[in-house]
Amino acid sequence: MQEKDIYILGVESSCDETSFSIVKNGKIEIATATSSQIDIHKEYGGVVPEIASRNHIKNITIVLDECLQKANMKMEDVDAIAITYGPGLIGSLLIGLEAAKTLSFIYNKPLIPVHHIAGHIYANSLVKPLQFPLLAIVVSGGHTELIKMTDHYNFKKLGGTLDDAIGECYDKVARVIDLPYPGGPKIDKLATSGEATYDLPVPLRNDDYNFSFSGLKSAVINLVHNEKQRNREINKEDLAASFQKVAVESIIIKVRKAIKNENLKHIIVAGGVAASSGLREAIYNLAKELNVDVSIPPIKYCTDNAAMIASAGYYAYKDGRIADLYLNSKSTDNLC
């Protein structure tokens, strides 16, 4: 007998995107609606938590309606509701969680708690089936981790950053050369027309799977200050290219080690920095060289969105991970 199709409504509000999505069987995106606050926070050079929460409140019912309309579905047609419970900005998380709990209560639908990073990982499932064992390279504004999965919803952390996240580092570097928030995409774009002429240190070449980005960040800040003091003009394109080369190399060194040691079938990339053209190219090249399957989600699934939460929610639901209405948001939480 053919299994019944499962439709999950995903809800994501952990930072500055309010997003709802309906995904069928964890793989097929039926419809997504997202309201981004980037233009609001740009003015402040970063996300202002209180402003983010207030805008989530303003947008949340509008975005839900838009998603249902796009999908041509009603709440009654949905099987369960998957919600990002953490990590993220606590005020922002709470708005999405309260909305999800209210919908769960009114429509009597199971509530599925999803870790934000599990969501980023499962963005890949919207593109191609996951093959185990796999390595998830998680690169976002708050995380830089290598996670091994031997099955669905089975996560083992191989290593992670000892200090700053890679996305945080992109954004900081952008800020010191006066690029607006969010800096990552701007650095990535500038890097394509620059040459890596500035000498920057490659962090952590040691034997484990950990990363460190604070030294690279400080090196860029010092370089910019020194050049300014000497009244020398910074070549922004070249600095962006130099920074991106080192940041990408730091990741590649450890991924290469993991592919060689961990008997992996599939490499996937997750999180906002997966949108970096430099990182994408380097990972595709490495996978080709070491003959391992690779997938990187299209840009729309790399940054925060509810489709990835609905996809992760499907596998969590199948795994029996259902929460009650006492579920709370967590600003910090480890995936594994």
Rounded CA separation 116/111 (Å):
15
Q: Does 10 bind ligand KG4 (CB under 6 A)?
A: no
Which CB, 80 or 275, lies closer to ligand KG4?
275
Strand ranges inside 13-70, DSSP E: 17-24, 28-36
Would you give the DSSP letter of residue 89?
-
- Residue 80 near residue 111, CB atoms below 8 Å: yes
Three-state DSSP class for 234?
coil
Which CB, 223 or 273, lies closer to ligand KG4?
273
Interaction residues for ligand KG4, span 125-144 (CB under 6 A):
140-142
Min CB(141)–Zn ion separation in Å:
7
Min CB(171)–ligand KG4 separation in Å:
5
Strand order through the sheet with 266-270:
154-160, 144-151, 134-139, 266-270, 293-295
Q: How far is CA 279 from CA 55, 234, 284, in A?
A: 32, 24, 9
Min CB(273)–Zn ion separation in Å:
10
Strand ranges inside the chain, DSSP E: 7-12, 17-24, 28-36, 80-86, 111-115, 134-139, 144-151, 154-160, 266-270, 293-295
Which CB, 53 or 303, lies closer to ligand KG4?
303
Choosing from 47, 149, 239, 275, the residue that interacts with ligand KG4 (CB under 6 A) is: 275
* Token pair of 97 as six digits: 């969680």
Interaction residues for ligand KG4, span 165-224 (CB under 6 A):
167, 170-171, 182-185, 188
Which CB, 67 or 275, lies closer to ligand KG4?
275
Q: Give the H/E segment covering residue 106.
A: helix 90-107
Interaction residues for ligand KG4, span 69-128 (CB under 6 A):
120
* Token pair of 194 as six digits: 């620059």
In the shown chain, the binding pattern of residues 290 to 309 toward Zn ion, with x for contact by CB under 5 A and - for none, equals --------------x-----
Selection from Zn ion, ligand KG4, none that 96 binds (CB < 5 to 8 A by kind) is none
For the beta carbon of residue 278, count every other beta carbon within 10 angstroms: 20
Interaction residues for ligand KG4, span 13-52 (CB under 6 A):
15
In the shown chain, the binding pattern of residues 116 to 155 toward Zn ion, with x for contact by CB under 5 A and - for none, equals ------------------------x---------------
Min CB(320)–ligand KG4 separation in Å:
26
Which CB, 16 or 29, lies closer to ligand KG4?
16
The site for ligand KG4, by CB under 6 A, has a size of 20
Would you give the DSSP letter of residue 16?
S
In the shown chain, the binding pattern of residues 60 to 99 toward Zn ion, with x for contact by CB under 5 A and - for none, equals ----------------------------------------
Strand ranges inside 111-227, DSSP E: 111-115, 134-139, 144-151, 154-160
Min CB(324)–Zn ion separation in Å:
26
Three-state DSSP class for 79?
coil
Interaction residues for ligand KG4, span 233-272 (CB under 6 A):
271-272
Selection from ligand KG4, Zn ion, none that 273 binds (CB < 5 to 8 A by kind) is ligand KG4
Task: Give which of 147, 155, 256, 238 is closest to 199, Cα–Cα.
Answer: 238
- Residue 241 near residue 196, CB atoms below 8 Å: yes
Q: Does 276 bind ligand KG4 (CB under 6 A)?
A: yes
Please identify which residue in the block is written with the tokens 């990363």: 211
Dihedral over Cα of 25, 29, 33, 35: its sign:
positive
> Which residues of the chain form contacts with Zn ion (CB under 5 A)?
140, 304
> Which residues of the chain form contacts with ligand KG4 (CB under 6 A)?
15, 120, 140-142, 167, 170-171, 182-185, 188, 271-273, 275-276, 303-304
